[in-house]
Copies of this chain bind each other. A is one copy, B any other.
Amino acid sequence: MRVAAIGLGLTKFGELWNKSLRDIALEAGMKAINDANIGSSDLDAMFIGNMSAGRFCGQEHLGALVADQAGLSIPSTRVEGACASGSLALRQGLFSIMSGMHDIVFVGGAEKMTDISTEFATVGLMGAADEEWEGFHGLTFPGLYALMARRHMHDFGTTHEQLAAAAVKNHHNATMNADVAQYPFEISIDKVLNSTMIADPLTLLDCSPLTDGAAAIILCREDLAKKYCDTPVYVTGSGQASDTLALHDRASLTELKATVDASKAAYKMAGVSSKEIDVCEVHDCFTIAEVMATEDLGFCKKGAGGKFIEDGNTQIGSKIPINTSGGLKACGHPVGATGIKQAAEIVAQLRGDAGKRQIDGAKTGMTHNIGGSGATCVVNIFRRF
């Protein structure tokens, strides 16, 4: 059975100090419910992606929290796979409809990251990596991705300018997505190279920020979709794979094997190849992550990602537009919400609702969402007919 996305909702991403986790979850959720032309009583179940509200807000049990806030008593389940939690929530919603158990399902993601100190957030985020082998010894996420960047530069001659090109592009795209994006302003290659060094070679503008935000999508059985929506978009493929938590256990530092495996599974299920993808949101938690994703998803050869991006192939209007939303870099990265925000961007693109960011004639889109330093990857493929 095919599953359709019939509604989407997003909060503004940013430092939302006057809104609580439950406020933003409800805001995104109600937007999605209204967008889908349903009532909340039409929902059969909810799946909520969230990474670390326990550490960030003292609140676990996000499934029940969101149902409670919406005044619902339907099944509601939190799903977690670090920064891939949102896409995993979408995947569980997909399974639950495909299983015949549910007809209309709410999949959402929410994270509140800026109510605690940056230091504590950085430590908290290391729960996505290997606490015993990496976090305990003082490694941070910028450090993990800096190791990958250094090796990529060593093996393939990738330059910092090439990494920076991804950030520059994503900030440009975000200027056309100011309702959501945390940083909807232009930057330059020079500005990236000369911003504060975080973990050599990655500077501040190579890194996605800490962000509060929420996103929601309404999924629905294919045969019901047209009742609610003139432009349903279908989830035609979904792949997920795991890898070691710790970098030291991996055969390669320049490839995320989970991306390769998850995308193969998603392409196979959808019956498409990378060539047929018209628009793609990839997980650019750091600029090097976008470079590796561009390669690992098959848009260019291993090692060629830096030049591929620098040459403009991933800009809007070019070969394969990547991160039209502004990506994690410029939209912000509320970790549990990111996967749903990516899906919302693709659904908007395939409906023709992406405004100035619209990719003309986009029919097939893809999201690529990473947990941690690549221990989880989820790739979902969407299509309009």
Contact = CB atoms under 8 A, between A and B. Distances in A.
Interface of A: 20, 22, 45, 51-55, 57-65, 67-68, 72-82, 88, 91-92, 94-96, 98-101, 123-124, 126-132, 135-136, 240-246, 249, 257-258, 261, 371-372, 375-376
Given A98-B100, A101-B98, A371 B64 contact: yes
A74 B242 contact: yes
A62 to B, nearest CB: 8
Contact of A95 (B59, B92, B131, B258): B92
A362 to B, nearest CB: 26
Given A98-B99, A242-B68, A128 B60 contact: yes
A59 B95 CA distance: 27
Given A60-B128, A88-B77, A65 B245 contact: yes
Contact of A75 (B68, B130, B241, B249): B241
Contact of A261 (B55, B73, B241, B242): B73
A240 B243 CA distance: 31
Given A54-B55, A76-B376, A245-B68, A81 B63 contact: yes
A241 B76 CA distance: 7
Contacts of A244: 68
Contact of A99 (B45, B55, B95): B95
Contacts of A129: 61
Contacts of A95: 92, 95-96, 99, 101
A246 B22 CA distance: 13
Contacts of A52: 54, 60
A242 B372 contact: no
Nearest to A89: B77
A245 B68 CA distance: 7
- A-B pairs, top 5 by smallest CB distance, nearest first, are A98-B99, A64-B375, A75-B240, A60-B127, A67-B242
Given A68-B249, A75-B240, A92-B95, A54 B127 contact: yes
A240 B127 CA distance: 29
A75 B258 CA distance: 9
B80 A243 contact: no
Contacts of A258: 73
A61 B128 contact: yes
A342 to B, nearest CB: 18
A58 B79 CA distance: 18
Given A58-B131, A98-B100, A81 B92 contact: no
Contact of A257 (B61, B73, B249, B261): B73
25 contacts: A22-B132, A57-B131, A58-B135, A58-B136, A59-B132, A60-B80, A61-B80, A61-B375, A63-B242, A63-B376, A64-B375, A65-B130, A68-B244, A68-B249, A68-B375, A72-B242, A73-B257, A77-B92, A78-B80, A80-B80, A95-B101, A96-B99, A98-B99, A98-B100, A99-B99
B81 A81 contact: no
A280 B58 CA distance: 33
